[in-house]
Amino acid sequence: MSKLVIATRESRLALWQAEHVKALLEQRGHEVSLLGMTTRGDQILDRSLSKVGGKGLFVKELEVALEEGHADIAVHSLKDVPMDVPEGFSLACVMEREDPRDAFVSNRFAGLAELPQGAVVGTSSLRRVVLLRALRPDLKIEPLRGNLDTRLRKLDDGNYDAIVLAAAGLKRLGLGQRIRQLFEPEQMLPAAGQGALGIETRADRLDVAEILASLAHQSTWLAVAAERAVSRAMGGSCSMPLAAFATFSGEHLQLRAAWGDPEGAAVLVRAQLAVAAADLDQAAALGTEVAARLRAAGAH
C-alpha cells in the first residue's frame, strides 16, 4: 500500500473526477487524499481562454503542487491538458472515455434545428463556434465561460436560447436530463481528448506510474494520442478552431479532423485516415499525417 495525494481543481466536475480516481485507487489498496486548488483558468472568467493564455491555465498550479512534492498525481479533463506536457512531467495514464459527444442544452428548444433564426447560443470553444456556424450560419454565437454549473445558471437566467457543453461532464454529474440533443460526430466533431481523463505525474515518479498502470485504457489512450497529435502538429491550443476524433474498427484506428476559420466563412476543411495502430508512436504518426492533409486542404 502507498499514500497518494491527488491535486485537483475545486469545481464540482473536477472534484467528481478526482473522487472517481481516488475510489479506484482505494479499491486497489492505496490510501488517497485530495488537495483542492483554484487555478488561473478558474479565476479569469471575463475573457476567452484563447486571449489569456490557453487551457494550460487550468493545470499550471496543479503542476507546481506536483513539482514541490505537495501532490503525487493530478487528474485532468484531457481536453484541458496542453498538447505538449512541460519537461519534467508525464501523462502517466489515460482512462476509459466517457461519451465524447457535444450536447445541446436548452430550456425552450428540443434541438439545434428548432432554434429560430438569430437565436443566441453560448459556447466558450472556437471549435464549437466554427462547427455551429457551418451547421447554422444564421445563429448568434456568444461567449460562455465558467464551470459547468455557472454555464447552466447563465442559460437558466435567460442569457442564451441554448448552450453547447460536453456530454461527459453532464453525465458524470448526474445532469444527463439537461441534454436535449446529442450531436453525433458527423454533425459536430469532438475536441481532441474530449470525454477522457488524464492523470499527470512528475516524470521521475516511476513508482506512481506503475500504480496508475492498472487504471489505463489502452484503446482510449491510442485514440486520444492520435487526436492530440493532430492538434500538436497544427500548433494547437484553445485558440485553434480544430476538432479531432479517433475510433477503433478492429485493429484500424480511424481519425477524423476538421478545421474552420473563426473570422471567415462557414466553410470547414476536413481530413481523415485509418491505419493499423498498436502503440502510441503509430497513433501519433496517424495524427501528424491527418494534420498534413488538413494543411494541404487549406487549414492553417
Least confident of 131-135, 201-205, 239-243: 239-243
176 vs 165: CA distance, rounded Å: 11
Domains for the chain: give ranges and CATH numbers. 1-96+195-216 (3.40.190.10), 102-183 (3.40.190.10), 217-291 (3.30.160.40)
Q: Which residue has the higher pLDDT, 140 or 39?
A: 140
On average, the pLDDT of the chain sits at 91
For the residues 180-207, what does the mean pLDDT come to? 96
Residue 26, pLDDT above cutoff 50: yes
**Contact assessment for residue 253 and residue 286, using Cβ atoms and an 8 Å cutoff:** yes
pLDDT the model gives residue 53: 45
Please indicate whether residue 236 or residue 9 has the higher confidence score (pLDDT): 9
Which residue is it, cell 485509418?
274
Percentage of the chain beyond pLDDT 70 is 91
Catalytic residue among 80, 99, 102, 161: 80
Residues whose CB is less than 8 angstroms from the CB of residue 174 and which lie 6 or more positions away in sequence, other chains included? none
Is 138 one of the annotated active-site residues of the chain?
A: no
What gap in Å lies between CA 164 and CA 141, rounded to an integer? Answer: 10
Residue 39's pLDDT band, with cuts at 50, 70 and 90, is low
Q: What percent of the chain has pLDDT over 90?
A: 81
The pLDDT confidence band at residue 44, using thresholds 50, 70 and 90, is very low
End-to-end CA distance of the chain: 49
278 CB burial (10 A radius; 0-12, 13-18, 19+)? exposed
Strand blocks (E) in the chain: 3-9, 31-37, 73-77, 89-94, 102-105, 120-122, 140-142, 162-166, 179-183, 197-202, 242-249, 252-260, 268-276
pTM: 0.90
Cell of 1: 500500500
Read off the pLDDT of residues 109-164 as tens digits, 9 standing for 90 and up.
999 999 999 999 999 899 999 999 999 999 999 999 888 999 999 999 999 999 99
Question: Quick one: pLDDT at residue 40?
Answer: 57
Residue-level pLDDT at 267 = 81
- Comparing 163 with 54, the larger pLDDT belongs to 163
